């Protein structure tokens, strides 16, 4: 019976394509020019698109939201597995910082959602651990104890705050008041501006190769395409300020509900407002106040979204103004002259995409506590990224482990191909823009190529046997037990944030660019057009990668242009 399910999904997809093609043809026949007309068309039903619509909902405008897939949420993506139904498995955004993410907290309050302290991994009986160079250490030991790195005597003397010590030495600055402006005034001993250097290049001026490996090997700044200022601002800017575990919050209803509730408020504010799913923006034509948006209809089954190419699969929408709430990869694919200009393409290539992924597995018992040689509820480990005990279900008593949360730049090819993704997603990456044009859109049931493991979800978010084997080899090492002692999961789900429209989880700035240059340049691709760009990929500040950054870009657009 298990093998029949993939064919069931394939038939559902084929039927959906056939019915949708007929529907598209009929609708297109009636609307040869514009299917509808809006005052404002908003592209993307993620947090930036939803917040844009939410801000404009009571302004007497006709607002239309258009989403590529069948899911509202974008990089907010809450899922549930059948044996742990009361647990919010956050495949995307999962936390916010109290009193720092003020825009997001304000929206949450207005939507009457409930914040709660994020408790994963919280257990003083089992301290957090670090696994590096095949050695398991507690976080305290890694910070100030014996480590498998040959630091110089000077570096060893400052091990507990080595990153701060080295950057202060490098810049001859205490770094106790780092702002978005003065971080670009920092210089290195030879007179160069710090922001013109990558993090590895900057640290190489003051640190041994062992210290560089110690500091950079476990994070996502270890790449020559990432500006040193991004790391400095991350650790010494507002996000680097000390806050307690009680300041790290999540949403009781799940992060997806923030976006869903915002969209619902928009739709209830006026009958003129609308949202249409499975619509991919391909081109923009026209002039200010008279834009014609060319869409291609799509179909989504099991989180896989494919373009339709049947007769009538394209349609046009007219709008006076346009807000593009899209990740930079999707933005780079739109056929519109200002986006294809040399200047704007340079801006898009001035940031680098992080290939993020998450894998959740559920179990009857918490083997990582009860059976492990190195029991812990929180770990940073080579080959896995971050590992979190996600807690126990109050319904079934089953436990969930976030076995891998990666934030990779030089992505392991095997990591991607193990779950059935095309290696070309990585190999063709140029300037931080993943090129997925080579991805085959033909309808091939993925389970036929790489079957999902028993208990896994179907489709793009499945966990394959190859992926499970990859994970289990590493889990056995980091927890210090035989691989055969790790039980099979009851259920599982994964998410690789590589495919269109995302291209990655978030972005970092490349060397040589200031935040002001990037944020101001992204916002309005052309002074002659009322087309605006919002989203966390364009915040390029200490909130980049956070929802707060997306909301910040929306606020700037609203202040200047609406």
The Cα–Cα gap between 97 and 398 comes to 29
Q: Domain for residue 171, yes or no?
A: yes
207 with 179, same domain: the answer is yes
For residue 197, give Cα distances in angstroms to 129, 160, 192, 212, 386. 31, 25, 8, 15, 27
217 with 262, same domain: the answer is no
Helices 47-56 and 547-561, packing angle to 10 deg: 40
**Residues 461 and 455 sit within 8 Å (Cβ to Cβ):** no
Q: Each residue's pLDDT tens digit in the chain (562 positions)? A: 333 333 445 445 544 554 454 444 334 434 458 889 999 999 999 999 999 999 999 999 999 999 999 999 999 999 999 999 999 999 999 999 999 999 999 999 999 999 999 887 667 789 999 999 999 999 999 999 999 999 999 999 999 999 999 999 999 999 988 888 889 999 999 999 999 999 999 999 999 999 999 999 877 788 888 899 988 988 887 666 666 678 899 999 999 999 999 999 999 999 999 999 999 999 999 999 999 999 999 999 999 999 999 888 999 999 999 999 999 999 999 999 999 999 999 999 999 888 889 999 999 999 999 999 999 999 999 888 899 999 999 999 999 999 999 876 544 555 555 555 554 444 433 233 332 233 333 333 456 677 899 999 999 999 999 899 989 999 999 999 999 999 999 999 999 998 999 999 999 899 999 999 999 999 999 999 999 999 999 996 677 789 999 999 999 999 999 9
The Cα–Cα gap between 98 and 85 comes to 27
283 with 317, same domain: the answer is yes
Q: Is the omega angle on the peptide bond into residue 176 within 30 degrees of 0, that is, cis?
A: no
At 491 the three-state DSSP class reads strand
Report the C-alpha dihedral over residues 494, 500, 504, 508, rounded to 10 degrees: -170
At 306 the three-state DSSP class reads strand
Q: Which helix (H) or strand (E) holds 234?
A: helix 228-236
311 with 236, same domain: the answer is no
* Cβ count within 10 A of residue 86: 11
User: Nearest-CA neighbor of 276 among 550, 32, 41, 12?
Assistant: 41
Domain boundary among 244, 271, 295: 244
265 with 334, same domain: the answer is yes
The Cα–Cα gap between 161 and 201 comes to 20
Q: Domain for residue 188, yes or no?
A: yes
275 with 344, same domain: the answer is yes
Q: Number of H helices and number of E strands within the chain? A: 20, 21
Q: Which helix (H) or strand (E) holds 266?
A: helix 256-269
Give the range of the structural domain holding residue 209, as residue numbers without chain letter: 162-244
Domain boundary among 244, 268, 298: 244
The count of domains in the chain is 2
DSSP single-letter state for residue 208: -
Q: What CATH number does residue 64 fall under?
A: 3.50.50.60
The Cα–Cα gap between 71 and 49 comes to 13
262 with 214, same domain: the answer is no
Q: Domain for residue 20, yes or no?
A: yes
Dump the DSSP string for 94-138: --EETTTSHHHHHHHHHTT--EEE--TT--TTS--EEEETTEEEE
Q: Domain for residue 482, yes or no?
A: no
Taking the model in full, what pTM does it have?
A: 0.89
308 with 270, same domain: the answer is yes
**Residues 339 and 388 sit within 8 Å (Cβ to Cβ):** no
Q: Domain for residue 22, yes or no?
A: yes
The Cα–Cα gap between 443 and 304 comes to 10
Q: Domain for residue 407, yes or no?
A: no
238 with 288, same domain: the answer is no
Q: Domain for residue 154, yes or no?
A: no
Domain boundary among 188, 215, 244: 244
Q: Domain for residue 404, yes or no?
A: no
194 with 265, same domain: the answer is no
């Amino acid at each position: 019976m298990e093998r029949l399910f993939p064919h069931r999904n394939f038939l559902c997809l084929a039927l959906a394509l056939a019915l949708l093609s007929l529907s598209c043809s009929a609708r297109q026949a009636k609307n040869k020019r514009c299917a509808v007309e809006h005052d404002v068309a908003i592209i993307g039903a993620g947090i930036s698109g939803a917040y844009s619509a939410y801000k404009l909902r009571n302004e007497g405008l006709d607002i239309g939201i258009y989403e590529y897939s069948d899911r509202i949420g974008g990089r907010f993506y809450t899922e549930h597995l059948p044996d742990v139904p009361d647990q919010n498995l956050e495949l995307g955004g999962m936390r916010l910082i109290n009193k720092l993410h003020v825009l997001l907290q304000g929206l949450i309050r207005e939507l009457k959602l409930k914040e709660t302290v994020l408790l994963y991994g919280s257990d003083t009986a089992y301290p957090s651990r670090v696994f590096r160079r095949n050695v398991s250490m507690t976080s305290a030991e890694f910070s100030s104890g014996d480590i498998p790195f040959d630091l110089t005597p000077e570096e060893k003397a400052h091990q507990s705050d080595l990153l701060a010590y080295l950057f202060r030495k490098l810049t001859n600055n205490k770094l106790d008041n780092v702002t978005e402006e003065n971080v670009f005034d920092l210089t290195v001993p030879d007179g160069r501006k710090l922001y013109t250097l990558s993090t590895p290049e900057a640290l190489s001026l003051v640190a041994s190769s062992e210290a560089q490996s110690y500091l950079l090997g476990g994070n996502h700044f270890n790449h020559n395409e990432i500006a040193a200022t991004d790391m400095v601002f991350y650790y010494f800017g507002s996000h680097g300020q000390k806050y307690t575990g009680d300041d790290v919050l999540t949403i009781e209803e799940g992060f997806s509900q923030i976006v869903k509730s915002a969209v619902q408020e928009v739709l209830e504010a006026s009958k003129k407002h609308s949202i249409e799913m499975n619509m991919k923006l391909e081109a923009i034509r026209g002039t200010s106040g008279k834009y014609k948006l060319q869409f291609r209809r799509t179909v989504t089954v099991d989180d896989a979204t494919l373009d339709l190419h049947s007769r009538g699969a394209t349609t046009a929408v007219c709008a006076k103004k346009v807000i593009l709430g899209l990740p930079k990869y999707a933005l780079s694919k739109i056929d519109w002259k200002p986006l294809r200009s040399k200047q704007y393409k340079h801006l898009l290539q001035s940031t680098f995409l992080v290939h993020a992924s998450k894998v959740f597995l559920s179990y009857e018992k918490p083997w990582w506590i009860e059976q492990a040689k190195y029991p812990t509820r929180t770990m940073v480990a080579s080959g896995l990224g971050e590992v979190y005990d996600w807690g126990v279900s109050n319904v079934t008593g089953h436990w969930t482990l976030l076995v891998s949360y990666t934030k990779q730049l030089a992505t392991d090819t095997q990591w991607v191909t193990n779950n059935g993704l095309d290696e070309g997603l990585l190999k063709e990456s140029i300037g931080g823009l993943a090129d997925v044009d080579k991805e085959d859109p033909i309808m091939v049931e993925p389970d036929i190529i790489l079957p999902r493991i028993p208990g896994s979800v179907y489709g793009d978010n499945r966990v394959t046997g190859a992926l499970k084997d990859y994970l289990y080899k590493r889990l056995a090492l980091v927890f210090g037990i035989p691989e055969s002692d790790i039980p099979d999961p009851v259920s599982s789900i994964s998410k690789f944030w590589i495919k269109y429209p995302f291209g990655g989880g978030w972005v970092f700035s490349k060397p040589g660019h200031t935040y002001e240059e990037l944020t101001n340049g992204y916002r309005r691709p052309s002074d002659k057009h009322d087309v605006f760009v919002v989203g966390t990929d364009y915040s390029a500040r200490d909130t980049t990668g956070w929802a707060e950054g997306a909301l910040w870009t929306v606020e700037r657009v609203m202040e200047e242009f609406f």
